[in-house]
Amino acid sequence: MKILQKIDLLWEKVEKGILSITTILMSLMLVGNAVSRYFFNKSWPFTEEIGKVGIIVLTFMGLGYAARKKMHIEMSGFYDMMSLKMQRVLSIFINLLSALVLAFCTYLAIEYVIHLYILNQVSTILRIPLYLTMMVIPIGFFLATVRYIVDFFDRLLTKVEEK
């Protein structure tokens, strides 16, 4: 079990690093492009493509990280009024349903990436194969699926006592 915890901790650091570096690089690039356009009347043609890839990375890698930190949208009005046993049951159901939906999204995203690979599409300016940039989509969905599965088993195996 300790090896899994170490792997999980290491992966959390990798996720943080990817998200941080992507945010910083996108900010620097987009500000640099704005400065270049303003002072030199010359725009960098690749910034839009890299910006799109950055948004995709932030969105789908952020999905897995948000699931890890339990930072997803939550409407807890009724949930907070329930007994602890009912909260546990509902939480188990929500985690299982979320894992199933995200697993299906992972499957669809893999199919999409395979489709892009077969089409051999490349980006307009940088000529990067699109399947390489879109691979982050199934990875993000998969990481969120794993997180919800872990949370499901954690809630299932943890007993809650009423106050």
The answer for residues whose C-beta is within 8 angstroms of residue 126's C-beta and 6 or more apart is 46, 49, 50
Distance CA 28, CA 21 (A): 10
Q: What pLDDT does residue 24 have?
A: 94
In the DSSP assignment, the letter for residue 158 is S
Residue ranges of alpha helices (H) inside the chain are 2-40, 47-68, 77-81, 84-119, 130-134, 136-157
- Is 129 strand, coil or helix? strand
Confidence band (pLDDT; 50, 70, 90) for 47? confident
Q: What pLDDT does residue 73 have?
A: 66
Range of lowest pLDDT (10-24, 57-71, 119-133):
57-71
Q: What pLDDT does residue 81 have?
A: 85
pLDDT digits (tens, 9 = 90+) for 68-119: 887 766 667 777 888 888 888 888 999 999 999 999 999 999 999 999 999 9
Q: What pLDDT does residue 148 have?
A: 92
